Amino acid sequence: AQSVAQPEDQVNVAEGNPLTVKCTYSVSGNPYLFWYVQYPNRGLQFLLKYITGDNLVKGSYGFEAEFNKSQTSFHLKKPSALVSDSALYFCAVRDMSMDSNYQLIWGAGTKLIIKP
Amino acid sequence: ETGVTQTPRHLVMGMTNKKSLKCEQHLGHNAMYWYKQSAKKPLELMFVYNFKEQTENNSVPSRFSPECPNSSHLFLHLHTLQPEDSALYLCASSQVRGDGTGELFFGEGSRLTVL
């Protein structure tokens, strides 16, 4: 079965330090992977996606994610965290099986807290 | 962010009330979605409309009734809800290309509280 795991409910990082938000997945076939961010009292915003090609994907707000096929991971990273990066982050994988209608399978989310 | 707008942003209703959530997308997309977001749980897909036709109904109770009159508007009609239905309801849209590469664009959500 297709699935997505975000193993950390919360990640705490000091401002200016690098951050990583982890995501692992399980799919049959090639994965289409997405990261979204949700700021307090807002809807979700698309950050970046991996479809094919370069394993390092760059997205909005200075974020990037590295696709690792052997580890079935798609971790979100940023070299230097800002307090304004504090939000809820969701990883998702597209279910490309024939009867799925290509719907997204979501992780439970990771709360990122950046401390000044 | 005005691509997808949802109203109302907050709604409090009793279990015997009838209310509706409204969503409008200004992006020219051909698919619209309703999701339910509860704390510390993955987003739950409720309904999908492609080209105004409902293509997904993920075992949602009949007290939730969707309506998609055109490709820009989506409603969620609510009646005789339960307190456990209290959640953030998110509307989203996307351009479905048939290759699975498109991303979703979300509204800011309607926070529903059922008393």
Q: How confident is the model at residue A29, as a pLDDT?
A: 80
User: ω into residue A116 within 30 of 0, thus cis?
Assistant: no
Cβ A43–B56 below 8 Å, yes or no?
Answer: no
Cβ B101–A9 below 8 Å, yes or no?
Answer: no
Distance CA A80, CA B4 (A): 31
Q: How confident is the model at residue B110, as a pLDDT?
A: 97
- Stated as kind and residue range, the H or E segment containing A94 is strand A87-94
Q: Which residue of A has its CA nearest to B6?
A: A43
> Does pLDDT of A104 surpass 70?
yes
Cβ B101–A51 below 8 Å, yes or no?
Answer: yes
Position B19: which residue type? K
Distance CA A32, CA B102 (A): 10
Distance CA A22, CA A106 (A): 13
> Does pLDDT of A98 surpass 70?
no
* Two structure tokens written together for B86: 């209290």
